[in-house]
Amino acid sequence: MIQAVLADDEVLARQKLRHLLREIPEIQVVGEGATAAETIDLVRTAKPDLLFLDIRMPDMDGFDVIGRLSETVGDSMPSVIFTTAYDRYALRAFEIHAVDYLLKPFTLERFRAATQRALQHIKNLRQNPQAQTGKAKNGSPYTTRIVFKSKGRILFLPVSEICWIGAEENYVRICTQSESHLLRETMSRIEEKLDPSTFLRVHRSSIVNLQYVKEVRPENDGDYGVVLRNGQRIPMSRTYRSRIKHWMGR
């Protein structure tokens, strides 16, 4: 069972959260705070696993709440999902390792995705208590998720959900199973951030996530192409073939 606290100064916003959480049996709401002070007290006494936190509270902002909590509750810091109408704070949320950042108004689907992520995160924490948030997991320097604005939302996209990344001039297109997002970013910069044991550069303009690769197929002209599980084909160039051979040989 996972215990959650809802913090928002608006009654209706808390009501919506409570209502949506009814559909998720693993999560039990153990308290609601309407101010930052109330929320801090609640978290100290109830020690929840998960905190839904509005950034704009009347007495302090959500980041101050997190700061106070990390001073006092230390190791029993709950996982945090921010719920806010503002999108300026996403980067800060990212820096303090929030699980997700829901922009109001959010849909049920978006909410489900965030809570699933939180459940997974909490489960990992319970199995491996050393892996505290805030410390890089197993010392890996690679990013576990990327954060960006796309289509008026803010996405905290775990890199495991990326199928492949294609270059489009000064942009990269990040493709997941359901969507694609255009980011102003360079291939080399994004490649640096990704774990090379999972993400492989197969072409000057494409990086694939090996978890989604179904097969590598010879094409007619003696070159090879990568076929993803959804049937999509991505050409591979000779320059990068040695890398994939090396990987296949492991």
Partner 1 sequence: MHPLVFIGSATVLGFLFGVQEWVHSLSWNYHMHIDLGLLLRAWGAQYFLWGTICWLLWMLLRPQINDGGLRTILLLFAPLSIAVCFVEEVIWVLLFPHLPMGHPNMHFWTRLAFQLDAEFVDSMVIFWSAFFLFRGLGYYQRYREKERTASQLESQLVQAQMRALRMQLNPHFLFNTMNGISSLMRTDIAAADLMLEQLSGLLRITLHRGDAQFIPLSDEMEFIEMYLAMQGRRYCGRVEQKMRIDPRLHDALVPTMILQPIVENAYRHGLSHINSGGLLSIEASRQDSHLRLCVTNSGRGLALASNGDNSGTGVGLANVRNRLRMHYGADQSLFLSEIEDRRVQVVMTLPLLFGSHSPETNTTRYGVT
Q: What is the binding site for partner 1 (CB under 8 A)?
A: 87, 90-91, 94-95, 103-110, 143, 146-153, 168-171, 182-185, 189-190, 193
Whichever of 37 and 157 has its CB closer to partner 1, that residue is: 157
Shortest CB 57 distance to partner 1, Å? 21
- Do 151 and 158 meet the contact criterion of CB atoms below 8 Å apart? no
Shortest CB 174 distance to partner 1, Å? 10
- CA torsion 121-12-84-8 (nearest 10°) is -70
Shortest CB 90 distance to partner 1, Å? 6
- Do 62 and 55 meet the contact criterion of CB atoms below 8 Å apart? yes
Shortest CB 114 distance to partner 1, Å? 13
Whichever of 184 and 250 has its CB closer to partner 1, that residue is: 184
Shortest CB 155 distance to partner 1, Å? 9
Whichever of 183 and 216 has its CB closer to partner 1, that residue is: 183
Q: How far apart are CA 247 and CA 186, in angstroms?
A: 24
Shortest CB 47 distance to partner 1, Å? 30
What DSSP string runs through 117-156? Answer: HHHHHHHHHHH-TTS-TTS-GGG--S-SEEEEEETTEEEE
Whichever of 150 and 237 has its CB closer to partner 1, that residue is: 150
Coil, helix or strand at residue 167: strand
DSSP 207: E
Q: How far apart are CA 49 and CA 168, in angstroms?
A: 41
Whichever of 15 and 45 has its CB closer to partner 1, that residue is: 15
* Number of residues that make up the chain: 250
Whichever of 172 and 200 has its CB closer to partner 1, that residue is: 172
Shortest CB 1 distance to partner 1, Å? 27
Q: How far apart are CA 208 and CA 201, in angstroms?
A: 6
Whichever of 105 and 218 has its CB closer to partner 1, that residue is: 105
DSSP 76: G
- Which residues are within 8 A (CB) of 4 and not within 5 positions of it... i.e. 6 or more apart? 21, 27, 28, 29, 30, 48, 49, 50, 51, 52
Q: Which helix (H) or strand (E) holds 21?
A: helix 11-21
